[in-house]
Amino acid sequence: MQGIQHAGKILIIDDEPGILKMLRLLLRALDYEVLTAFGGVEGLEIFRKEEPPIVLTDVRMPGMSGIDVLKRLKEINPDVQVIVVTGHGEMETAIQALQLEASDFITKPVQGQALEVALKRANEKIRMKRQIQNYTRQLETIVDEATEDLAQSCRRLETFYEISQRVGEMSSLGQILDFLHQEITSITQFGCSAILILDGPREALIAYPLVQGRQAFTEDVMAAVKELSHWRALNADEEKRFRATIPVPAGRLVLVPIAREGEPPVGAAVITIPPEASEDELRLVSLLLSQAVGAIGRAVVQEEELKTLRRIVGVQEHFGDLIGRHEKMRQIYKLIANVAESDATVLILGESGTGKELVARRIHELSSRKDGAFITINCAAYPETLIESELFGHEKGSFTGATHTRKGCFELASGGTIFLDEIGEVSPAAQVKLLRVLQFKEFQRVGGEASIKVDVRVLAATSRNLRREMELGTFREDLFYRLHVIPVIIPPLRERISDLQPLVEHFIQKFSEQSNKKILDIMPDVLSILMNHRWPGNVRELENVVEHAVILARGDVIQVGDLPAYLRENGRQIPSAGDGLEEMEKQHLIRVLGECQGNKIQAARRLKISRSTLYRKMELYGIQD
């Protein structure tokens, strides 16, 4: 716990001496002047006397509760930052405290990292309020001289305070930069051409929104951003270098740092300004950007940590044409690798659109038969009268229209693999012949008498419940057990929703190349709509949706309007703030889990709750793993 810029005094109120002692030692190590009080009554007396800017109070105390203490503290000094300490399962109490303007809440047992985050937020609010008070006092002095422009600036400062609060609630770097881009263009007459953010090691730049991902910026551009201490217009040579990397529109370019006063910048905004622009407006842009410094820094660190963790654990996203890093998919990858070298029959189970044929192809590609044929037959595509001929072939004259002898799929696949898709659709008569092929590796053509031997591996797939079909008498039990030697169960997309983003990225690249387009990214609100859809058609439905969006996209970023109408309508039904706290919390959990790729450790850390609390809430709201 380093780097906290604190406000001096801090008061701890608790009824447990051990906790008081532990917190006192912890906070003194951070150079705080620590005051302690045993219970709420003593705490209020010390607060009136010492006036500390931050108070840390337990919720459950005999006599005067932490909520009562919070109310009295706010009556004495509305600006005091109060952090409440709650037990696990006391979310309603925590929400009540936040409604009473508590600065934050942390849960017991108090973790150092959670306390550090809460203290940083409290000190940021104190610093922000002091900054606003300083600006307000200056503005009021000039307002007394009847200057209406300064009254407008005061209102803008209040707006910036609200902006800083909203930015602090955003979790991803993309959300923060998108919000800043919109606010700059709406509050001022400037155009925001791009926002450049330094990565964690300050060795690369991330550009938004015109260019996504890391770019090969020249050393001059990097130096211009890293050494920026005040906004300045770019000269002709600098503009040329910037335009070589970022497609900014024509106009006078000004570089505005994203930094707090006296600190190195975390990035810069490239602003296009008109000839009549004033320094006051540039100052407003600078102040607006300074509100987001802390949030941007945290978001950059979080994204770097996630990339590092993925690299360390070696998360596998691709396995042949299969895409997904969810634990269920990784287990399937392992199973495929283990069974590929054998000749065992594999039954692939899963809903329509989950990629059963891709699994079959991957098994074939990894097997010793990979140089042989891979023959696919969709058993649901043929009527009962033709399926036997398609599978086993027929002799000349065996039925009307049989003008010549024809080999079936089993003969064509000899030495390789045959994939029987939708095996549950096969007729009872054909099931008998299939059973013989699986048992003895031989069969007879339709209308033929000679037995034909084949060396073929059988892979089968179905979206039906074959056990249920056996109970109904429509599928032979002995055939089921011959097929069911090694089952591979493909999860539906809704059960591995953390794989949605890499799938979307893959399909964007695929269809961009096919349509000769350059789609660089997808807007966060589009991803939110996709994450909240149930995907009854699974990956095949997602593929069709992305193809639709790529074809309709007019720019280099997919927007909500590029989605099919039914998904846009679903997006409008996502709950708003008026839909109740429980529904809001559920949607927030879903969003954070999606952004963390299903990693519950990261999600719990982002939500500032324990993993056990996260699991309990997922169960409460019926959120799938």
Q: Nearest Cα to 558, choosing from 517, 597, 594, 591?
A: 517
pLDDT bracket for residue 575 (50, 70, 90): very low
Distances (CA, A) of 520 to 146, 209, 213, 506: 50, 10, 9, 12
| 282 or 436, higher pLDDT | 436
The predicted structure's pLDDT at residue 210: 45
Residue 217 has pLDDT above 50, yes or no: yes
Q: Nearest Cα to 229, choosing from 186, 204, 265, 195?
A: 265
Angstrom distance (rounded) from CA 220 to CA 444: 76
Residue 491 has pLDDT above 90, yes or no: yes
The predicted structure's pLDDT at residue 13: 92
Least trusted range by pLDDT, from 186-200, 449-463, 566-580, 595-609? 566-580
Residue 276 has pLDDT above 80, yes or no: no
Q: How many CB atoms lie within 10 A of CB 107?
A: 20
Residue % of the chain over a pLDDT of 70: 86
Domains of the chain by start residue, with CATH: 9-127 (3.40.50.2300), 147-303 (3.30.450.40), 319-489 (3.40.50.300), 494-621 (1.10.8.60)
Mean pLDDT in residue range 359-386 = 89
The predicted structure's pLDDT at residue 54: 92
Angstrom distance (rounded) from CA 64 to CA 47: 15
Dihedral of alpha carbons 101, 107, 110, 111, sign: negative
Most confident region among 114-118, 155-159, 540-544, 604-608 by mean pLDDT: 540-544
Mean pLDDT in residue range 347-376 = 92
pLDDT bracket for residue 569 (50, 70, 90): confident
Mean pLDDT in residue range 261-267 = 83
The predicted structure's pLDDT at residue 421: 92
Tell me the pLDDT tens digit for each residue of 288-317: 788 888 888 887 877 776 666 555 444 456
| 3-class secondary-structure state, position 367 | coil
Angstrom distance (rounded) from CA 232 to CA 282: 10
Give 563-572's long-range contacts (Cβ < 8 A, gap of 24+): 563/526, 563/529, 567/529, 567/530, 567/533, 568/529, 570/529, 570/532, 570/533, 571/525, 571/528, 571/529, 571/532
Q: Nearest Cα to 37, choosing from 63, 71, 3?
A: 63
293: alpha, beta or left? (left if phi > 0; alpha if psi -120 to 50): alpha
Q: Nearest Cα to 106, choosing from 14, 37, 7, 38?
A: 14
Least trusted range by pLDDT, from 37-51, 439-453, 574-588? 574-588
Angstrom distance (rounded) from CA 141 to CA 136: 9
Mean pLDDT in residue range 68-87 = 89
The predicted structure's pLDDT at residue 548: 93
The strand order across the sheet containing 457-462 reads 374-378, 417-421, 457-462, 346-349, 486-489
The predicted structure's pLDDT at residue 224: 78
Least trusted range by pLDDT, from 238-247, 268-277, 489-498? 238-247
The first and second tokens of residue 622, run together, are: 């019926």
Residue 223 has pLDDT above 50, yes or no: yes
**For the stretch 43-76, what's the b/e string if a residue is b when 16 or more beta carbons lie within 10 angstroms of its beta carbon?**
bbebbeeeebbbbbbbbebeebbbbebbbbbeee
| 3-class secondary-structure state, position 109 | coil
Relative orientation angle of helices 219-226 and 236-245, to the nearest 10 degrees? 110
Residue 25 has pLDDT above 80, yes or no: yes
Report the alpha-carbon angle 247-251-253, nearest 5. 75
189: enclosing H helix or E strand: none
Determine if the peptide bond prior to 17 is cis (ω within 30°): no
| 67 or 250, higher pLDDT | 67
Residue 544 has pLDDT above 90, yes or no: yes
Least trusted range by pLDDT, from 181-190, 322-331, 579-588? 579-588
Least trusted range by pLDDT, from 73-77, 102-106, 214-218, 275-279? 214-218
Rg of the chain in Å (alpha carbons)? 32
For the chain, the average pLDDT equals: 81
Mean pLDDT in residue range 30-53 = 90
Residue 376 has pLDDT above 90, yes or no: yes
Beta strands per DSSP E along 495-599? 521-522, 557-558
Mean pLDDT in residue range 512-526 = 84
Residue 235 has pLDDT above 50, yes or no: yes
Dihedral of alpha carbons 398, 401, 404, 407, sign: negative
